[in-house]
Structure formats: C-alpha cells, structure tokens
Structure 1
C-alpha cells in the first residue's frame, strides 16, 4: 500500500495534467507488451505493435533491463513535450545516473551513467516512442482529453475531494491520506508540494516515482469507457438526422445525458438513445461518474464534425 499524505496546501496544489506524458507512456507501453495476463483493452494495440516490431527489438530489450524503471526515465520536464523530456534525461546529474542505473541489469559501461550512456538511453526512448506510442497518438490524446474532461467535471461538481475520490478502484481517498494499491508499503508526505495527476492510456494500476524527494506525481489508468476499443464499428449510416448530429456536437467537451437533452431540446430517454447509436459507431464514449453518464465525442466524432463544418462554409 502506498499512502500519500496531504496537508491543506497540498489539496490546493493538486493539479490535473493537460494530457498524458510521453515518457510515462513509453515506459508503461513496454510493460503492456510484456504482460502475461494482458487485459482485452490492450490486445489489439499489442498485436498491431508486435507486427511492426522486428524480432528481438534491441530498444525493447534495453528497457526490459531497466525494470523497475529508474526515475530518470520519467522527468517532470516531459510535461512540455517529448523533446524536453529527452533533454532532461540527457542532463541527468552523473551521481544520480550512476545510482539509479547501477541498480539495473544494464551492462557496465551503460550502467555507469556517463554522458554518452545517457545520450544512448535518450535515443532509445525516442525510438520506442516512435514504435509504440506515435502510431496511436490520436487515440492516446483523445483518451487523455476525455479523462481530463471528467476530472475537471469532478473538480467543479465536488471539489478536490471528489477529484481524489474518483481515481478508480485502486485508489481510496481517506482524508488526509490517499491510499493507492502498491506492491510495497510506502508513505509519501507531500509537505506542501501538491500532487500532479497524470493519465496514461497504457497504465493498468497507479504508479509513482521511487524517490519521495522528487516532484510528486501519480500516474493513473483511464476509465475503461475512455480507452480505445479498436475504432469505429459499422453503423455510421444511423447517424443521419439533425438531432443525432446535435447530440454529437454537444458532446465535444463532455456532457451528461441530462445536459445533452436540455441543449438539444429533447427528452433524456431520446438523448440516451442517440448517444447509444453514436457510441456503437465509435463517435462517442460514455463513462459513469457518481451515478451519471458522461458522454464525450471521440477523435473520429470530432473529425466528422470538423469535416461537416468545412463543407458548410
């Protein structure tokens, strides 16, 4: 069990990341490729990814030797993009690099953590991002956007307590402690630093950094309703009609069934039926939150709306 202890200042300083972060995605995607009990949600992604990789991929082998992943692979600078994150990896202080890499199974020269070794490691991460994450960048970003919309709604409707209570089945909020399912007994005192919440498409259970002195972060899984299910299903013809298009338009930034009904000018039952058709066609995602359904347009749904808007100009 991981126990994260909050103060009042930490509640104020808790933030939701603007999206998933590239190096966390790389590290977690590598884990998902090697899962023995891979959940159904990851099977299509894993099959497509394996088909693109050469047998015995060297970069994957390197990252497997770095299990558990050292903190230097996931620096906070990655919040500003992949390039910034890789620059931070290259700039890791030598003493820290030797300490973290020395606990890995990497061969001696690399484990010593010199500038050349860190440069090679950064290039390995860049290539893995291109192989594992970039081909699915759209759905990864879309899933993170849906998660952020949900966290924002929790925060607006119920404050920080609702936000921390809604992080999934592996997390329990017992003020002032956030209890997270973890393989070891640990306690992290935030001590006024706040907590950064980062969603990841490739995360199965929440993860954090090993060093409690680093900027606190909790990387958490998406709700299953936000995860890519393999693309659009047959049924786009059923989308014809002004009411259904209006429902899709109103779901751009996320809306409950009641909100959809009010904005479109129809009954809640009718809005729910239209949302069901949109969901079956892969244009909308629905998840449950405190007894309410939250509907959010997918990347495909937003593209369809954008294309219709261009034609109407």
Structure 2
C-alpha cells in the first residue's frame, strides 16, 4: 500500500492535470501492449498497434520491464505540454540521474550494450531512446488520442465537479476505489509498502487511459508528487465512426441538438434539464439515446451522473455550429502500417502488470 500524507498546504495545492500526459500514456500503453490477460476493450488496439511496430518493443523493453520499476526520467513533467517538449526533456536528462535510475532496474538479465552505454553517461543512446519513444507513440497512442483524451476529460470533469462542490476533501473522496481518503492520508493500492510525505508540495492527480489496475507514482520521493490513476473502464468505441444504427436513426429533432449544445464542459442530468428547459425524465431519456449512439460519456458523481461529449458528439456539434479555433475531435482512423526496416521484426514482449 502507498500512503500519501497531506498537510494543510498540501490540500490547498491538490490539482488535476489539465490534459493527458503523452509520455505517461506512451509508457503505460507499452505495459498494456504486452499484457496477455483478458481485456476485450483493448484487443483491437493491440492487434492494430502490433501491426504498425518496427522493433520499438525491443528497444523499450529493457527500460520498461514486464513488472515493477521503470526509470522516472521516462515520464518528465513536460509530457503535459506535448510530445516534442517531453522528448526534449528526456534527451536533456542529466547523466548522473540517468545512471542512478537505470542502475535501479532489476538485474534479471544482462542489459543490452546500448543500455549499458546509456547508464554510463553516453549521449547517443538518449537519442536512440527518444526516437523509439516517438515511433512507438505514433504507432500505439497517436491514432487513438481523441478517444483517450475524451475519456480523460470526462474523468477530469467529474473530479472538477467534486472539487467545486466540496473542495479538496470532496475531490480526494471522489477518486476510484483503489484510492481511499482517510484524512490526512490517502491510501492507495500499490505493489509495495511506501509512505509519500508531500511536505507542502501538493499533489498532481493525473487520470490515465492506459493505466489499469493500481495507480502509479514516481519512485523518487523528491520529484514533484504525481499520482497516475486509471479512468473508469468502459468498452472502447470503434476507431472510426460507427455505421448508422437504430440509436443514431432516433437522433433527430431540435431537443437532442439542444441537449448536445447544453452539455458544454460537462453537466448533471438535472442541470441539463434546466439548461434545455425540459423535464428531468425527458433530459434523462434523451441523454440515454445520445449515449447509446456514442455521442456522450456518462460518469457517476455521488448520487448524480455527469455527462460529457465524446469526440463523435463534439464533431457532430461542431458540424452544426463551427467554432473558431475549435480543436478537432474526430477520429481519422489509424495511419497506414510502416514497412519494417531491414533486420527489424514486429512483435511484443511478455505479460506485464501496471507498476
């Protein structure tokens, strides 16, 4: 179990990440890729991703073992800014930190020569690692970014509502069952027995699509405290827009258009009813139809539910009333497979659990 100890200043500095972190999603998706446990929600993703990989798994596997610890420098804070900034931060990791963190890897088998060179402070291996991370991200994460971003934003909306309704105490109490708020300690299901004292630094809560099971945090307690936790698990939507269905055929008329527009950044059913000026029962019925059509996500928040738009719902809404500078949320489908480079082979590693 991980015990996160809060002081008064820490409660004032609890925050929710504003967006998904590209490298946390990349590294954790690498765990999911090699996880052979039954998980129907990711089976298509695994098959599609494996078909696009050109040997990146062989580069990354020594640094991201099938179980337990992986170096903290693989997930710098710049991951919230975008892939370019994140990889630049990885390449700029001081040699002494790389040496210390790579040396903590379990000595199950000898490290490849390039990882030994990385540990010994040579600069070229960081470039090789950065290239592998970029290529793996483009194959495994980028094609699915709109979907995972929507799931994370839905979770963020639920946590934000808890924070608005009851402050940091309510926010921490609203977290998934793997985390239990017993003031002033947050108890977290974790593979090792640890205590993390925040010491006035606060805590960044980072919802993650590819984190499954137990939450994750840095090994080094001196780094900015981050707690990565899994968003609610629901069956994944298809990569492309679904074919016309009975539910979509029912999606006509001004009321449901008003429902989509009224959701905004997220709202409860009762708030939606007030915004659209319909009864609570009518708002609930329309929201159910929209959810069945793949246009809404619904998360439970206490005794209420919170509705947010899916990428398809946001795209449909923008098609009705385009907004200047609106961010594209449609899913364009996966890119074509890359041809393997000479001597490289496609493949995956062994079963893994989230560290």
Q: How does the TM-score come out when normalised to structure 2?
A: 0.82
Moved more, 14-23 or 227-236: 227-236
Matched, 1:252 2:264: yes
Report the CA distance between 1:154 and its aligned residue.
0.8
Q: Which residue of 1 aligns with 2:58?
A: 61
In the TM superposition, what whole-angstrom CA distance separates every residue of 1:205-255 from its partner, at most 9, and x where no partner exists? Answer: 210000001110001111235x74336552322110111111111123111
In the TM superposition, what whole-angstrom CA distance separates every residue of 1:92-126 from its partner, at most 9, and x where no partner exists? Answer: 11111112123335322233242111121112111
Separation in 2, partners of 1:183, 1:44: 28
Separation in 2, partners of 1:10, 1:16: 13
The 5 Å alignment of 1:177-196 reads 177-196=185-204
Residues 286, 296 of structure 1: 8 Å contact kept: yes
Separation in 2, partners of 1:11, 1:265: 38
Change (3 A) 1:159 1:220: same
Report the CA distance between 1:53 and its aligned residue.
2.9
Report the CA distance between 1:182 and its aligned residue.
0.5
Q: Which residue of 2 aligns with 1:25?
A: 25
Q: Which residue of 2 aligns with 1:216?
A: 225
Separation in 1, partners of 2:227, 2:318: 34
Matched, 1:156 2:160: no
The 5 Å alignment of 1:1-313 reads 1-54=1-54, 57=55, 59-66=56-63, 67=65, 68-104=69-105, 106-107=111-112, 108-204=116-212, 205-224=214-233, 228-230=236-238, 233=242, 234=245, 235-310=247-322
Report the CA distance between 1:47 and its aligned residue.
2.6
Change (3 A) 1:86 1:176: same
In the TM superposition, what whole-angstrom CA distance separates every residue of 1:136-167 from its partner, at most 9, and x where no partner exists? Answer: 11112222221221111110011111111122
Separation in 2, partners of 1:127, 1:94: 23
Change (3 A) 1:306 1:153: same
In the TM superposition, what whole-angstrom CA distance separates every residue of 1:275-301 from its partner, at most 9, and x where no partner exists? Answer: 111011100111111111111111110
The total of aligned residue pairs comes to 307
In the TM superposition, what whole-angstrom CA distance separates every residue of 1:181-222 from its partner, at most 9, and x where no partner exists? Answer: 001000010000010111111111210000001110001111
Partner-residue secondary structure (3-state), 2:176: coil
Separation in 2, partners of 1:179, 1:27: 24
Q: How large is the Cα RMSD of the aligned pairs?
A: 1.7
Separation in 2, partners of 1:154, 1:45: 32
Partner-residue secondary structure (3-state), 1:286: strand
Report the CA distance between 1:38 and its aligned residue.
4.0
Separation in 2, partners of 1:103, 1:16: 29
Greater percentage in helix? 1
Residues 143, 228 of structure 1: 8 Å contact kept: no
Residues 158, 299 of structure 2: 8 Å contact kept: no
Q: Which has the higher contact order (CA 8 A, sep 6+)?
A: 2
